[in-house]
Amino acid sequence: MSKRLYIKTYGCQMNVYDSTRMADLLAPLGYRLVTASDEADLVILNTCHIREKAAEKVYSELGRLRVLKTARAETGGRMVVAVGGCVAQAEGAEILRRAPHVDIVFGPQTYHRLPDLVARVLLVPAAVAAKGLLDTEFPAETKFDLLPETASPQGVAAILSVQEGCDKFCSFCVVPYTRGAEYSRPAGDVLREARDLVAAGAREITLLGQNVNAYHGAAAGNKSAREWGLGRLIQALAEIPGLDRLRYTTSHPGDVDDALVAAHRDVPQLMPFLHLPVQSGSDRVLAAMNRKHTADAYRRLIERFRTARADMAFSSDFIVGHPDESEVDFAATLRLVGDIGFAQAFSFKYSPRPGTPAAQASQVAEELKAARLAVLQEMLATQQRRFNDSCRGRILPVLFDRPGRHSGQLIGRSPYLQSVHVEAPDGHLGTLVPVRILAAGQNSVAGTLEMRADAVEASA
Ligand code: 5AD
Ligand code: SF4
Cα distances from 433 to residues 47, 307, 389, in angstroms, run 36, 27, 20
Query: Reduced to 3 DSSP states, what percent helix, strand and coil does the chain have, rounded to the nearest 5?
Result: 40, 20, 40
Q: Where are the alpha helices (DSSP H) in 75-126?
A: 85-91, 93-98, 114-123
Give CA–CA dist 330/295, Å, rounded: 12
Q: What is the 3-state secondary structure (H, E, C) of 360-379?
A: HCCCCCHHHHHHHHHHHHHH
Give me the pLDDT at residue 154, please.
85
CA of 300 to the centre of ligand 1 (A): 23
Give me the pLDDT at residue 459, please.
42
Give me the pLDDT at residue 147, please.
86
List, for the chain, all residue ranges whose pLDDT scores fall below the cut of 70. 1, 129, 452-460
- Contact in structure between 83 and 95 (CB atoms under 8 Å): yes
* DSSP summary character for residue 270: B
Q: Does ligand 1 have an atom closer than 6 angstroms to the CB of 363?
A: no
CA of 6 to the centre of ligand 1 (A): 28
* DSSP summary character for residue 217: B
Counting ligand 2 atoms within 8 A of each CB, the residue from 170, 208, 291, 322 with the most, and so the one to mutate, is 170
Give me the pLDDT at residue 224, please.
72
Give me the pLDDT at residue 458, please.
45
Give me the pLDDT at residue 124, please.
86
Give CA–CA dist 389/401, Å, rounded: 23
- Supply the pTM of this predicted model: 0.93
Nearest CA to ligand 2 atom 3: 170
DSSP lists the bridge partners of residue 439 as: 446
Q: Does ligand 1 have an atom closer than 6 angstroms to the CB of 358?
A: no
Q: Does ligand 1 have an atom closer than 6 angstroms to the CB of 350?
A: yes
Geometric angle at alpha carbon 155, from 154 and 159, rounded to 5°:
50
Give me the pLDDT at residue 188, please.
95
Residue type for position 40: A
3-state secondary structure of 399: strand
Give me the pLDDT at residue 457, please.
55
Q: Counting every residue, how long is the chain?
A: 460
